[in-house]
């Protein structure tokens, strides 16, 4: 009788071990898959930010090229695009579209205080300097729009 009880006990213990090992395997598998998918999502976002920052920087360089041609072509605007034709950059349209990205160039006057320092408000408008902001936006896949901007000041140097 004692052998029969031990065999039943061992059979029950084996089923319990199988259930526990399947449960542990499921938990670790789910955690691993979640971690892997999060890492892929973070990598995709990082690549998008990097591409957007590059497009924004290229926008500043293009406006710098326009300035080199004629500073007076830098008219104040909140929403301009860029066009490359005939071997040179031009301000044109409302924005640029490429792949999922949209680039907008903003150009504004710069004011200086009595000491000649650039000031955010008040002061005297400097006719030989403009503030340039290149903004790139794109959908993040979750129904939101993400954007990044770079800015610089350009002056009449000729």
* pLDDT at residue 37 greater than cutoff 80: yes
Spatial separation of the C-alpha atoms in residues 132 and 42, rounded to whole Å = 30
Average pLDDT over residues 108-126: 87
The pLDDT of residue 26 is: 94
Question: In terms of C-beta density within 10 A (0-12 exposed, 13-18 middle, 19 or more buried), how is residue 59 classed?
Answer: buried
Q: How far apart are CA 134 and CA 148, in angstroms?
A: 8
What is the model's pLDDT at position 23?
A: 93
Give Cα 24 distance to the centre of its chain.
39
- State both tokens at 75: 């008219």
| 116 has a pLDDT exceeding 90 | no
Count: domains in the chain:
1
Q: If pLDDT is split at 50, 70 and 90, which confidence band does 119 have?
A: confident
What pLDDT is stored for residue 150 in this prediction?
A: 96
Q: Would you state the structure tokens that stand for residue 105, as one six-digit string?
A: 């160039």
pTM of the entire predicted model: 0.74
Provide the residue range defining the domain that includes 82. 2-155
pLDDT tens sequence across 82-104:
988 888 898 888 888 888 999 99
User: Which stretches of the chain are assigned E, i.e. beta strand?
Assistant: 77-85, 88-92, 96-98, 101-112, 118-119, 124-139, 145-155
Question: Which tokens hold the place of 146?
Answer: 């993400």
Structure confidence by residue, pLDDT tens digits, 65-79: 999 989 998 999 988
Question: What is the per-residue pLDDT for 49?
Answer: 92
């Amino acid at each position: 009788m004692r052998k029969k009880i031990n065999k039943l006990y061992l059979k029950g213990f084996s089923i319990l071990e199988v259930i526990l090992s399947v449960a542990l395997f499921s938990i670790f598998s789910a955690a691993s898959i979640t971690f892997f998918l999060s890492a892929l999502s973070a990598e995709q976002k990082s690549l998008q930010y990097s591409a957007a920052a590059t497009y924004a920087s290229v926008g500043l360089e293009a406006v710098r090229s326009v300035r080199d041609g004629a500073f007076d072509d830098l008219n104040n605007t909140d929403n301009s695009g860029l066009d490359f034709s005939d071997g040179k950059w031009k301000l044109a349209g409302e924005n640029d579209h490429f792949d999922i990205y949209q680039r907008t160039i903003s150009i504004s006057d710069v004011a200086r205080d009595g000491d000649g320092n650039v000031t955010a408000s008040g002061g005297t408008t400097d006719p030989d300097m403009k503030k340039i902001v290149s903004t790139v936006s794109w959908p993040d896949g979750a129904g939101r729009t993400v954007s990044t901007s770079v800015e610089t000041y350009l002056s009449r140097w000729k």
